[in-house]
Amino acid sequence: MAEKTGSFYGLELEIYNTLIEKKSIKNEKDLLKFLEELLFDFNDYRETFTVSDSSKFSGDVGDKDFVIKSKVLGNLISPPNKKYPIQLIQCHFASDAAYNFSYTNNALPLDVEYKMFDDFKIITSLKQKNKIINMELNSTGSTWYSKVILRHLNKEGKEEGRFVKDLIPSGHCDRQEGHDKETLKKLKRLAEIWFPFI
């Protein structure tokens, strides 16, 4: 059978995280250094994922929407642990992401595997009859929101979390950008607020 082109519209997630040993953060300056690295290294080390926001996988013109067989396989990001009890995450969501994918028969169901992040289902695998289907990103819209997240283990060994939204409105930053000084002020203040919790 000839290949056809299907489509999917959802969100795009870009994410970068780092796990940190307790001994590496002795004061606010240490935490600030890790926050700077998290944001300024984001463009180099981020991973990109497709986010399902209840959109349908649509078939080619004239074909019906696919039947979906789905399962959720845990969390996208491993939590902090005893060895690395501190975790920093930078994530950026882009709206109106448009994807295409190739298929041969829309009568066959799509097998979709997800992992969870921030209450969203993140697509980690798409198959049809055990054949891997690659989704090609065509376009994205504007920034929906971005977050900087701190996860850490408290004295009882239980995970706690806190976050700040839209610290950098675009979700992207590097040391060459003109708003560096303002960004560094925000990061310094954030380090002051978060350090007592870790």
Are residues 4 and 104 in contact, defined by beta-carbon separation less than 8 angstroms? yes
Predicted local distance difference test score (pLDDT) of residue 57: 87
How many beta carbons lie within 10 A of that of residue 20, not counting itself? 19
Beta 4-20 vs 86-103: how paired, if at all?
Answer: antiparallel
Q: How many domains does one find in the chain?
A: 1
Task: Write down the pTM of the prediction.
Answer: 0.89
Rounded to the nearest 5°, which phi and psi values hold at 103?
A: -155, 170
Cα–Cα distance measured from residue 9 to residue 92, given in angstroms and rounded to the nearest whole number: 17
Cα–Cα distance measured from residue 155 to residue 142, given in angstroms and rounded to the nearest whole number: 40
Predicted local distance difference test score (pLDDT) of residue 178: 43
pLDDT (tens, 9 = 90+) of the chain, 198 residues, equals 678 999 998 899 999 999 999 999 999 999 999 999 998 888 889 999 999 866 678 888 778 888 899 999 999 999 999 999 999 999 999 998 999 999 988 889 999 999 999 999 999 999 999 999 999 999 988 888 899 999 999 999 999 999 999 887 666 666 555 456 788 889 999 999 999 999
Residue 63's domain spans which residues? 4-197
How many beta carbons lie within 10 A of that of residue 15, not counting itself? 22
- C-alpha dist (Å) from residue 55 to 58, 132, 178: 9, 20, 38
Cα–Cα distance measured from residue 79 to residue 189, given in angstroms and rounded to the nearest whole number: 25
- Radius of gyration of the chain from its Cα atoms, rounded to whole angstroms: 20
